[in-house]
Structures are given as C-alpha cells and as structure tokens.
Amino acid sequence: MGIEEENRLIKERVDKLNVLKVMGINPYPYSFGRSHHAADILKKYDCLKPEEKSDEKVSVAGRVMQLRNMGKASFLHLQDQSGKIQLYIRKDDVGEELYGLMKKMDMGDMMGAEGTVFKTKTGETSVYVKRFDLLAKSLRPLPEKYHGLQDKEIRYRKRYLDTIMNPEVKAVFMTRARIIKAVREFLDSKGFMEVQTPILQPIYGGGSARPFVTRINAWDMTMYLRIAYELHLKRLIVGGFEKVYDLSYCFRNEGSDKTHNPEFTMMEIQWAYADYNDAMKLFEDLWEHVAMNVLGTTRIKYQGKEIDVKAPWKRMTMSQALAELAGIEVDGLDDTQLKDLLSGYSIDYDGEFSKGLAIMLLFEALCEEKLVQPTHIMDHPKESCPLAKPHRDNPALIERDEPYVNGWEVGNIYSELTDPILQRSLLEEQARLLRGGAEEAHPMDEDYVQALEYGLPPNAGIGIGLDRMIMILTDSESIRDVILFPTMKFTDQEQSPEEQARQADDGLKKALR
C-alpha cells in the first residue's frame, strides 16, 4: 500500500470518527464486560449441530478482522487473544439506529458484542448478536488481508501488527510465557529461591562480554548494565543463602545474529554444597521437565531435525569431542603442532598463545555444529574462565561444562572457584588483559574477592540462555522470533527512528487538520 493510498484511508476513518462523535457515540469507551474468550466458546459449543441454538448469553470482545455487510445482516470475525469467532448481526434484532453504526465500522476496529451461541448451516460456531459496542476506532488500516505482514524487519519493529496479523507469532509468545513459568516452578519445587540482582553495577563481571556503559548524573558516576548475575549470587551464598537464582535480563554490548541479541533473557543459579556433576543433572532434568510440562513430550522437531531432550544427556570432555567429532587427539600435541592445526583450518588466533585457548578454538570451529543431540562438553582448559574451580584430577583443566543442543551452547556450568587467593590472582591477570585491550576480559572486583575471603562454601553455578531454549522448544528460526521487542538497528540507507516516526505521523496529522 502506497503512502497516498494509506493517507486516503486514514482520512476516511477520521471522517467516520468525527461523525460518531457528532452522533454522541464515544469511540473510545472506558470498559466492556466480557464473559468469554473466543476459544472458550468454540470449545464449549463444538457439540452443537448445524442451526442449533443455545440459550446461554455470552459477551465477547476483540478486533474486527473480517467484515461482510449484506444489507440487513452482517457477518464479522472477531479476534481476541485466544483466536477468532464469527458474529452474526441482524438489523431487525439490534434496531435500525444501532445497526447504522455498522456503516462506520472498519477492519481493525475493536468491538464488544453480547448475544447467544449458535451454529450456522455450514457448521461454524457463532454468536447471534443482540447488542454491540464500538470499543476503539482504528485510524490506520491493517496490512492487506491476503498478503499479510511478511517483511521481517517491519514485523520486528511493529510487533503489535505482527501479532495482530500472524496468530502463530502470538502463540509463540504465549508458549514462551509457559516455558518461563515452568522453569520457575521446577526450581521452586527443588527449594531454590528467586532473587533480584542489580542491573546497574559499578563493576561488571561474571561473563566474557563488552558491557553497556551509562551514568548516574546525580552522583557523577559511571555505571554498567549487568552482563551476568554470577558475582552477586555468590555474594548471597557467602551471606548464608544456599539455593538462589535470578531470571531476568542481561545486556551485552555486542552484535546481533541468529542466536544473539544485545538484550536477552538469562537465568543463573547458585547452589551451595554442590559441584558441576550435580549441576549437570539439574540442568538436564530442568529441560526435560519444561519440555514435558509445555509440549507434553521430550521429542522436539526443530527446523526439520528431531531432538530428544530426555535426561540423561550424553557427556564428553572437550578432548573427547575433538577426537570423536574431528579426529584430532589434542592431548599429546605441542604448541607448534597446535599452531599448525589452527593454520591448516584457517582459524584465527588473536592475543597471547596458549595451548588451552588453541584447543577451545579448534573445538568451536570443528565440533560445535555437530552437537545436535543434547550433549554436555566437560572439562575445559583452565584459560577458558577465571571463575571455575581447577579440575580435581588435572590442573590444566577446570570443572566447567557447556551443554549443547542443536549445535548451540545453551548453558554454562561450573564447580565455582572458592579459593580467594587464587581468585584474586586470576582476576588480576584478567584486569591486566583488559588494560591491554582484551575487551571481553573480566575486570578486577575487589569487593567480590573480599566476600570470598569471608568464606564461600563449595557450590555449583548454572547459567542458562532462556531465549535459546525457547527458540528450540518453539521451533523458531531466530532469537528475534522469541523476543517481543528485539533490538533493531538502521543502516545508512534507512531513515532514523525519529524520521520514520515523523513521516508515519504525516498522514494522520493531515487527516486531522
């Protein structure tokens, strides 16, 4: 639809709005007493036979998605959160004055209706309307019925239109809500307590990421949006809490792709007196519980692949994964051989060379995408994280696990480092790397180290990227498909959001003049 055509339609709708006001009709009333959702009526009265009527009075409300005016009778499809239902309105039943309001109705208007339920000759459950009210006059036309709203950029920027025109999108977000509810129910049933950690932090930490920087003007103080919850949750374990989790938003000042968005939903768990073996079992039990609770099965279809998240999951060390999936025995290789491998596979290596980081790069390049079925990748090189405990059997490794599903890392699990002296040393080394230009290195957090010096009991930590879990459980191709309002950018060829908003208002302003 061109801008001129859209402006013409807006002008027509504004003219109707003004007529309604002259008629003494409030086109934006304060409330409406709805008794049923569309889906409830369709389910309850599915047993009616064609042309059979019910005596029960119902009231429904929603958006007009289809409108056929046949002179003395009209058929409408009304869409609410649960779905669509047909309305049948006869002039003789509602009266000439009220029926005249139908001439001022348009697709997209919000309305409420009262009546009784019946089935048409063709077997469609419908509401036989006795009275109706306009609940909101729509001034902008909806996208064309048959073309719908397909452009993904527009869909993400105008999610309200996306969920109006594409009911399957709305269903994804309703499933998302059920998934998050099931996650909380599972952890609560295991004795975990949900807590809230600060979003604004004077020192960021707990992950390898660039932060967003902001400022508190009143204190003239630089702050960071959190990149993880870990360090604050472990402070709580020091303080005497034993099972805690935070499920909310984290922010990482990085790019956006199929599985990354700068603002995302993450959950982290801290569990006193447990280690990474206990945490791996909890993690896979959580996935199984959520899948069964929300989908009724652990067998999931994702983009044509069948994935079974039923526990227990396969477990491999990183070295075993390289041997099994890439045919590379890394344990006996020296630095020169590892550098040759990196070069042979065209894998870039930045910064100071270490055997552990080389092994990680080989694993990421050669193994990750092959981990389609749920798999724990355990026992990472010690260089991979400064917050995990040294491996009890091999000082070159740490007790860290990354669970994989569909070739994606979907979590992060540690036996948490509790030695304050070693922790101080590792964070000081990270701070040195940060000063040297390693943007994702961890800053030094003196208060966190001091907390450890009071004594942190053995504990396990779990981080879960909930958006990726939701993508898999809803068969969604992109992380933007499971975030209601994903972070968007505009290119040099596009107008700024401010300019887009200004131009979008032009048609309405012209119509109102």
The residue among 19 and 436 whose pLDDT is bigger is 19
**Is the predicted pLDDT of residue 147 greater than 60, yes or no?**
no
Q: Give phi and psi for 196, each to the nearest 5.
A: -120, 125
For residue 435, what pLDDT band results from cuts at 50, 70 and 90? Answer: confident
**Is the predicted pLDDT of residue 511 greater than 60, yes or no?**
no
Residue 458, pLDDT score: 97
In order of their start, the domains of the chain are: 3-146 (2.40.50.140), 165-313+374-481 (3.30.930.10)
* Tens-place pLDDT, residues 166-217: 999 999 999 999 999 999 999 999 999 999 999 999 999 988 889 999 999 9
Task: Give me the residues paired with residue 85 across strands.
Answer: 78
d(CA 1, CA 445): 56
CA of 228: how far to CAs of 205, 264, 415, in Å? 7, 11, 17
At 101 the three-state DSSP class reads helix
Q: Give phi and psi for 119, each to the nearest 5.
A: -115, 135
Mention every residue, 6+ apart, whose C-beta is less than 8 A from residue 260: 252, 254, 479
Q: How many CB atoms lie within 10 A of CB 428?
A: 12
Residue 501, pLDDT score: 62
Contact 374, 403 (CB under 8 A): yes
**Is the predicted pLDDT of residue 491 greater than 80, yes or no?**
no
Alpha helices in 345-419 (DSSP H): 355-366
The token duo for 195 is 């807590």
Q: Give phi and psi for 357, each to the nearest 5.
A: -70, -35
Contact 36, 86 (CB under 8 A): no
What average pLDDT does this structure show over 331-349? Answer: 93
What average pLDDT does this structure show over 34-39? Answer: 97
Reference 225, options 244, 246, 210; nearest CA is: 210
Q: What pTM, to 2 d.p., does this model score?
A: 0.91
For residue 32, what pLDDT band results from cuts at 50, 70 and 90? Answer: very high
Residue 509, pLDDT score: 66
Residue 512, pLDDT score: 59
Half-sphere exposure of 369 (CA within 13 A, CB side): 3
Residue 146, pLDDT score: 47
Q: What is the rounded radius of gyration, in angstroms, for the C-alpha atoms of the chain?
A: 29
d(CA 120, CA 86): 10
The token duo for 276 is 């990474």
Residue 332, pLDDT score: 87
Residues above pLDDT 90, as percent of the chain: 85
d(CA 12, CA 505): 16
What average pLDDT does this structure show over 366-383? Answer: 97
Mention every residue, 6+ apart, whose C-beta is less than 8 A from residue 81: 37, 62, 170
Residues above pLDDT 70, as percent of the chain: 94
* Tens-place pLDDT, residues 53-92: 999 999 999 999 999 988 899 999 999 999 999 999 999 9
d(CA 434, CA 432): 5
Half-sphere exposure of 450 (CA within 13 A, CB side): 3
CA of 306: how far to CAs of 277, 287, 316, in Å? 27, 15, 21
Task: Identify the sign of the CA torsion 109, 113, 119, 120.
Answer: negative
Residue 47, pLDDT score: 95
